[in-house]
């Protein structure tokens, strides 16, 4: 993933991002419709500024600012904000990711962010991810599910993506961070609806610092942007866009989590919901989603099954695993399925078509050989 760039290129990318009065969905649409060889992984700020400067679909003021950005961005009325971001990006683990540098899943959106600010580890955006969302007010059962399912799924190597909000978001990050502290190979990322020079809610500042160490904090909003209510629904499309699927833990019928689920459906992502008591208001949104076609899931293993098809692109296959001469021949097929992230017994035996009795014998042999270990969430290769 290309990160820091030459100052001139980065300045133009910031200028494009900060120009007010243009709709990024419309801009991307015009670029894709008019470019000779449209490819968002290669598009430059200059190309998009030229589209913005010439297209009659945008206001005169917007076209004037685009022309100025092409020729002398330091004459723009918001040049001081460009400079502030350049200074911010010089700090350790601070990154500015342009449209061309975004993960392919985000580039597939009809309205991808033109630029992301990021604190932490940018490579985590390329990891297989699961969005975990839900209400801010949870039942004790909902808290348990958010924490423990995220903990187990992080042990399976997933990157848990949420929004750092109170409720499900915070508990999901908490479960993932606990797994990471225990040695899990997964991670967690928080997508914020304000500038990364502040943290909201304030009581999650320590959690945000831990996330930036283990994963990433992300925002499409400039520094100084306050967490206004209108920014949160747009933020949700990035939470779901980064992910292979979306897990709704608890949600009322008017929960913002249903907005996330709608984004996920539009983006072609898997949508899953945990059922609850018919007498509990926090379960009404989940039940509504299930009626509309979301997958009903009752354990983390079922989440993995639902996203198994897109997840296969991230997992090593038997054909590209090297045979280990230290492994007895009859154990090679099972050993080749092992990787650093724990996998459940059912998952491993299902891939080989073995019954439980035969499979457990082989797992025990591999363990006695010192080749695999049992961790929370399943079996993985020993270090």
Long-range (24+ apart) CB contacts under 8 A made by 286-290 are 286/248, 286/249, 286/250, 286/251, 288/253, 288/258, 289/248, 289/251, 289/258, 289/261
For residue 9, the SS3 value is helix
Distance CA 238, CA 260 (A): 9
Which among 151, 97, 100, 145 is positioned nearest to 124, based on CA atoms? 97
Contact of 286 with 248, CB cutoff 8 Å? yes
For residue 216, the SS3 value is strand
Give pLDDT, residue 208.
98
Note the Cα 307 to chain centre separation in Å: 14
Give pLDDT, residue 164.
97
Q: What is the pLDDT along the chain (383 residues), one digit of tens a residue?
A: 334 445 788 999 999 999 987 778 888 888 888 887 788 988 999 999 999 999 888 899 999 999 999 999 999 999 999 999 999 999 999 999 999 999 999 999 988 999 999 999 999 999 999 999 999 999 999 999 999 999 999 998 899 999 999 999 999 999 999 999 998 889 999 999 999 999 999 999 999 999 999 999 999 999 999 999 999 989 999 999 999 999 999 999 888 888 889 899 999 999 999 999 888 888 999 999 999 999 999 999 899 889 988 887 775 544 344 556 677 877 877 887 787 777 888 778 776 767 778 888 888 888 888 888 888 778 888 86
Which among 346, 383, 381 is positioned nearest to 367, based on CA atoms? 381
117: enclosing H helix or E strand = strand 115-120
Q: How many CB atoms lie within 10 A of CB 145?
A: 26
| DSSP code, position 123 | G
Give pLDDT, residue 315.
58
Residue corresponding to tokens 């492994």: 327
Q: Please report the domains of the chain, with CATH numbers, ordered by start residue.
A: 7-90 (no CATH), 122-311 (3.40.50.450), 318-381 (1.10.10.10)
| Beta bridge partner(s), residue 131 | 161, 246
223: enclosing H helix or E strand = none
pTM (two decimals): 0.81
Q: How many CB atoms lie within 10 A of CB 50?
A: 16
């Amino acid at each position: 993933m290309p990160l820091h760039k030459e100052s001139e290129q980065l300045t133009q990318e910031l200028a494009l991002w900060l120009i007010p009065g243009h709709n990024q969905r419309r801009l991307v649409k015009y670029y894709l419709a008019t470019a000779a060889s449209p490819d968002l992984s290669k598009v430059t700020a200059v190309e998009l500024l030229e589209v913005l400067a010439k297209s009659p679909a945008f206001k005169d003021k917007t076209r004037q600012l685009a022309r100025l950005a092409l020729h002398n961005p330091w004459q723009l009325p918001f040049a001081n904000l460009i400079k502030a971001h350049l200074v911010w990006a010089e700090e350790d683990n601070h990154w500015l990711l342009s449209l061309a540098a975004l993960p392919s899943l985000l580039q597939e959106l009809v309205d991808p962010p033109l630029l992301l600010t990021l604190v932490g580890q940018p490579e985590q955006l390329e990891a297989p991810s699961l969005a975990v969302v839900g209400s801010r007010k949870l039942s004790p059962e909902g808290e348990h599910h958010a924490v423990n399912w995220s903990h187990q799924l992080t042990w399976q190597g997933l990157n848990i993506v949420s929004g750092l909000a109170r409720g499900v978001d915070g508990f999901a990050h908490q479960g993932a961070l606990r797994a990471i502290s225990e040695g899990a190979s997964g991670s967690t990322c928080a997508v914020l609806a304000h500038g990364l020079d502040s943290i909201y809610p304030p009581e999650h500042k320590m959690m945000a610092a831990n996330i930036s160490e283990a994963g990433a904090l992300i925002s499409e909003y400039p520094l100084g942007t306050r967490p206004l209510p209108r920014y949160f629904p747009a933020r949700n499309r990035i939470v779901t866009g980064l992910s292979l699927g979306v897990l709704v833990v608890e949600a009322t019928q008017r929960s913002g989590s249903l907005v996330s689920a709608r984004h996920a459906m539009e983006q072609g992502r898997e949508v899953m919901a945990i059922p609850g008591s018919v007498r509990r208001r926090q379960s009404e949104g989940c039940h509504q989603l299930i009626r509309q076609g979301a997958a009903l899931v009752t354990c983390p293993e079922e989440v993995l099954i639902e996203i198994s098809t897109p997840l296969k692109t991230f997992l090593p296959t038997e054909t590209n695993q090297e045979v280990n001469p230290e492994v007895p021949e009859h154990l090679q097929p099972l050993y080749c399925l092992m990787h650093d992230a724990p996998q459940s017994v059912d998952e491993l035996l299902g891939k080989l078509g073995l019954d439980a009795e035969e499979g457990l014998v082989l797992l025990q042999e591999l363990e006695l050989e010192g080749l695999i270990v049992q961790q929370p969430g399943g079996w993985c290769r020993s270090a």
